[in-house]
Amino acid sequence: MVWKHQFMSRCNVICSTSVWAAFAVSAILGSASVASATTMTSSVFFSDTSNDMFGLGADVSFTNRGKFGIPDTVDISYGATVSSGQASAQIGAKVETTIDRVVSLAHASKTGITITAKDVMTQFGGNIGADLFVDMNMHQFTVDLLFKKVTVNPPNLRNVVDKDFNLRVEGAAQGFGTVATDQARIREAGVKTPGGLSELKKYVGVDIDLSATLDVVQSTSFAVTDIKGTLEARHGDGLREIDFSLKDGLATELDLSSLGTWSLALRDLRPEYAYESIFSLDPTARAKLDIFDIWMYDRSRSATLTSTRYTANMDFGRQFIDLGTVSVVAPVPVPASLPMLGAALLGLMALRRRRPVNT
C-alpha cells in the first residue's frame, strides 16, 4: 500500500501545482476579454383599424357595371355601386437580440450582435357597403293573332334587383409572406312582369316574366412581407446606425471603440405588407313568355364575370424597442510580479515531476 500512498501524494502535489499554474496563466491572459453575451426578447405590435380603402380618410366609391342581352328579347344592365368600406390589420412579432453587455476596449471595434424575428402573426378584416341593381329593357314584339296583330312595347323594368348590402372578410396567418385569405358572397334575385300588357291578356292571356340573379363576391388577401428598421448605438455625440430587415435577420459587428456606456435601440420599425381585394359580379337573366299558360318561350343567359380590383393604403406608424446598454471597459492592468509568479509555479511543477520517489 506504500506505492499507492506515494502515488496519491505525488498526484496531489502535481494537481495542486497545476491549479496554481493555471490560475497564474489565466490571470496573465484574463485581461484580454470580459465579454458577457445576453439575449433579450421584445414584443412589437402594429395596428391600423380605421383606414378607409384607397387611402387614409378617402371616400370609397366605385361602380362595377355591365351589360348583356338575350338576343331579340331583352337587354340587361346590372351593377353595384360601392359607397363605403374599411380595411384593418394587426401585425405582431417577437424580436430576439443577442449582444455582449460588457466588452473590453481591445475588442469593442467588433462587438457582435444578432437580431431575429419569431412568432410573426397577422390578421386582417375588411368590409364594403354597396347598392346592387339590375335593370331590364324588353324589346318591342308583335303577336300575330287570327284576327289582328298586336304590337307590344314593354316599358323598361328598373330595379328588377335592388338591394343594399354589406360584405365582410377576415383572416389570419403566421410568418412573413404567408397569405391570409377570405371570401364573402351574397346572391340576390328578382322577378318582374312588364306592365301595359292588359290588351294581350284580354285577348290571348300572354304573361311575360323577366328575372335576374346576381352573385356578388369579395375576395381579399393580406400578407406581411417584412418588418424593417434601424439599429442605432449612441455614446455621447457618437452614433452608429445599421438598417436591417427582420425577415432576413441581422448578424453583424458594431464598432463601439469608445470607453463608457453605449445605448442601443431599434427604431423606425415599420411593416411592409400586401393587401388586395377583388369585387366581382356574376349575373344571370331569364325571359319567359307564356300564352294561355302554355310555355312558348324561355331563355336565359349569363354575362361574363366583371371584377374590380382594389387595395388599401394602411398606416401602421413606427415602433421603437429599447435594447439597453453595452459597457466598454479598459483592460485590467497586469501586475509586474504576476508573470514571475506564474513562471515560478510552472518551474515548481516541473521539479515535482522529476523528483525521485524513495521506495
pLDDT on residue 337: 53
Which amino acid is it at 267? R
Reduce the DSSP state of residue 228 to 3 states and report it. strand
Q: Has residue 172 got a pLDDT over 90?
A: yes
The residue among 264 and 139 whose pLDDT is bigger is: 264
Domain-embedded: residue 316? yes
Q: How confident is the model at residue 19 (pLDDT cuts 50, 70, 90)?
A: very low
Read off the pLDDT of each residue in 50-56 and give the average, rounded to a whole number: 51
Domain extent at residue 299: 33-332
* pLDDT level of residue 288 (50, 70, 90 thresholds): confident
Confidence band for 107, pLDDT divided at 50, 70 and 90: very high
Segment of 26-40, 42-56, 178-192, 276-290 carrying the highest mean pLDDT: 178-192
- pLDDT of 354 reads 55
Q: Residue 177 has what DSSP assignment? A: T
Task: Give the span between the Cα atoms of 9 and 136, in whole angstroms.
Answer: 112
Q: What pLDDT score does 24 carry? A: 42
**Residue 335, pLDDT score:** 59
Confidence (pLDDT) at 23 = 40
Q: Choose the weakest-confidence range: 219-223, 252-256, 263-267, 306-310.
A: 306-310
Say how far apart CA 57 and CA 43 lie, in whole Å: 29
- Please check whether residue 71 lies inside any domain of the structure: yes
The overall average pLDDT reported for the chain is 78
Region 273-289: what's the mean pLDDT?
86
339/228: higher pLDDT: 228
- Span 3-31, average pLDDT: 40
**Has residue 301 been placed in a domain?**
yes
Q: Is the pLDDT of residue 94 over 70?
A: yes
Which three cell numbers mark 204?
A: 290571348
Nearest residue to 78 via CA among 35, 134, 30: 134
Among 135, 136, 219, which residue's Cα sits nearest to residue 182? 219
Question: Would you say residue 13 has pLDDT above 90?
Answer: no
Report the C-alpha gap between 144 and 149 in whole angstroms: 5
Task: Report, as an integer, the average pLDDT of 122-144.
Answer: 82
* Residue 175 burial class via C-beta count within 10 angstroms: exposed 0-12, middle 13-18, buried 19 and up: middle
Task: Give me the mean pLDDT over the 58-81 stretch.
Answer: 75
Confidence at 30, pLDDT banded by 50, 70, 90: very low
In-domain check, residue 23: no
Whole-number pLDDT of residue 181: 95
For range 236-259, the mean pLDDT: 93
In a domain, 83, yes or no: yes
pLDDT over 90 (residue 304): no
pLDDT of residue 303: 79
Assigned domain for 295 exists:
yes
> What domain count does the chain have?
1
Please identify which residue in the block is written with the cell numbers 334587383.
161
Burial class (CB in 10 A: 0-12, 13-18, 19+), 224: buried
Q: Which residue has the cell 355601386?
A: 81
Lowest mean per-residue pLDDT among 31-45, 157-171, 334-348: 334-348
Radius of gyration of the CA atoms of the chain, in A: 41
Task: Give the pLDDT of residue 192.
Answer: 75
Question: Is 19 within the bounds of a domain?
Answer: no
Q: Alpha carbon 239 to chain centroid distance?
A: 31
- How far apart are the C-alpha atoms of 308 and 279, rounded to whole Å? 5
The rounded Cα 116 to chain-centroid distance in angstroms is 16
- At 346 the pLDDT is 59
Bridge partner residues of 51 (DSSP): 87
194: confidence class by pLDDT, cuts 50, 70, 90:
low
Compare 311 and 174 and report the one with higher pLDDT. Answer: 174
- Check residue 71 and give its pLDDT: 75
Residue 14 lies in a domain: no
Which range (175-189, 237-251, 254-268, 290-304) has the least confidence? 290-304
Q: Would you call 291 exposed, middle or buried from its count of C-beta atoms within 10 A (0-12, 13-18, 19+)?
A: middle
Question: How far apart are the C-alpha atoms of 129 and 218, rounded to whole Å?
Answer: 11
Cell 300588357 -> residue: 197
Q: How far apart are CA 141 and CA 240, in angstroms?
A: 83
| pLDDT for position 320 | 96
If you average pLDDT over residues 272-292, what whole number do you get? 83
Q: Is 319 in contact with 253 (CB distance < 8 Å)?
A: no
CB distance 239 to 88 below 8 Å: no
Cell of 296: 312558348
